[in-house]
Structure 1
């Protein structure tokens, strides 16, 4: 079977294990069903996720022009503390910014390669944790807007990490930790304006990824340098496809790339 389409991040459904889906314009693949099968991935062309033009992808699946123009790629996406919609101030598109920023947000702890703090919209739990390859996570604070979540994250970053080591995550060289204890330890550092939203009594969420074999020395597939690759799929974790020869492919990092995928 052959499938052709523009890559966007895999859709997920939490379960035992998590189910992964590649969604193209004319095709829909349950990636779990491809485990232990040989896949061929070939780069075809670029297609910006916003303007749909065949322009070289710059970042986050967008061409250069779109990345610097559309609200979906504004600085507050990666740095929520820069959100201004709660002040009725526009960055690029106030209607969009109010829609996204003025809704419940979660500040959380996740353990993927180590314990890290992060921010996501409440509607993205547990999707955000799955995308990061976290095998356990817990909510710390639920606030009414993105700005409050951002300033809380900034305050906590002085006391806990905010980055994932992708190699450690993929090799599964991680240990279980007591996230409830971490939550309670970090409570003292939560800003006063966010303290009323601290979550006192909850338990951590555990996640199970569909992996038959973890890589020992993961090497990342770069479609620009290697436009054609073949390998046996052995697992899916985070937004990575894991192959038998230690090759790993980050689907999200290749958003906006049109690929041809052949199974078998």
Structure 2
């Protein structure tokens, strides 16, 4: 089987285990069906997810000029506390920013390598947790806009981490935690503006990933340095493909790379 197209983050579907899909312009691949098969990846060119031009990818699948111009790459994406649409203030495109920022957001705890706090739009639960490779997660607050979620995350970061150790996540060196207890402990640190949105009646969500073999040590595949790679696929976790030789490939980190995929 042969596939060709620009890489975007894999789409997912809740199941036991989670189902993963690579979606291209005219085709899609259920990646779960490639487990225990040989996957060959050939890097052909760059293709910016915004302008479509063959320019080096700067960040998030965009070339440098698009990254600094388009509204979907504003600083408030990575730092939600910088959101200003609730004040009617524009960053790059107020209509776009209102659409994204002025909707329900969740502040959550996720356990992928360690417990971390994070923010996502309500519509992205549990997709966001899957993308981070979290085997368990729980909501803390549900607020009406991105700004309130951002300041809550900032306040909680003083008491719990906000980063995932991706190597630890991929080797499955994890421990189960009681996230309900953690949520109760952290409640006192939620800003006053968000206290009324605290959630206390929902339980943990548990996620199962399609992994047959975890790597003992992690070797990361970079298509810019290694434009051709071939290996037996042994698992999918977060947005990573895991191969038999302990190589891992971050699909989301390679957005904007146009590739050919061969499966045999």
Q: TM-score, normalised by structure 2?
A: 1.00
Aligned to 1:197: 197
* Residue 84 of structure 1 pairs with residue 84 of structure 2: yes
1:174-194 deviation line (CA, Å, top 9, x unaligned): 000000000000000000000
CA RMSD of aligned residues (A): 0.4
Q: Offset at 1:124?
A: 0.1
Q: Offset at 1:72?
A: 0.6
Q: Offset at 1:27?
A: 1.5
5+ residue gaps, structure 2: none
1:119-175 deviation line (CA, Å, top 9, x unaligned): 000000000000000000000000000000000000000000000000000000000
Secondary structure of the 2:233 match is: strand
Distance 1:198 1:206 in 2: 21
Aligned to 1:151: 151
Aligned to 1:229: 229
Aligned to 1:73: 73
Q: Offset at 1:41?
A: 0.3
Aligned to 1:172: 172
Q: Offset at 1:63?
A: 0.3
Aligned to 1:112: 112
Distance 1:63 1:123 in 2: 27
5+ residue gaps, structure 1: none
Q: Offset at 1:246?
A: 0.2
Distance 2:90 2:187 in 1: 32
Distance 1:59 1:117 in 2: 23
Q: Offset at 1:26?
A: 1.6
1:33-73 deviation line (CA, Å, top 9, x unaligned): 00000000010000000001111111000000000000111
Secondary structure of the 2:215 match is: coil
Secondary structure of the 1:65 match is: helix
Distance 1:204 1:190 in 2: 19
Q: Offset at 1:201?
A: 1.1
Q: Offset at 1:7?
A: 0.2
Secondary structure of the 2:192 match is: coil
Aligned to 2:36: 36
Distance 2:171 2:14 in 1: 21
Q: Offset at 1:261?
A: 0.4
Give the paired residue count: 264
Secondary structure of the 1:194 match is: helix
Distance 1:55 1:222 in 2: 17
Aligned to 1:216: 216
Secondary structure of the 2:117 match is: strand
Divergent runs of 4+, >2 A: none
Secondary structure of the 1:36 match is: coil
Distance 1:48 1:21 in 2: 20
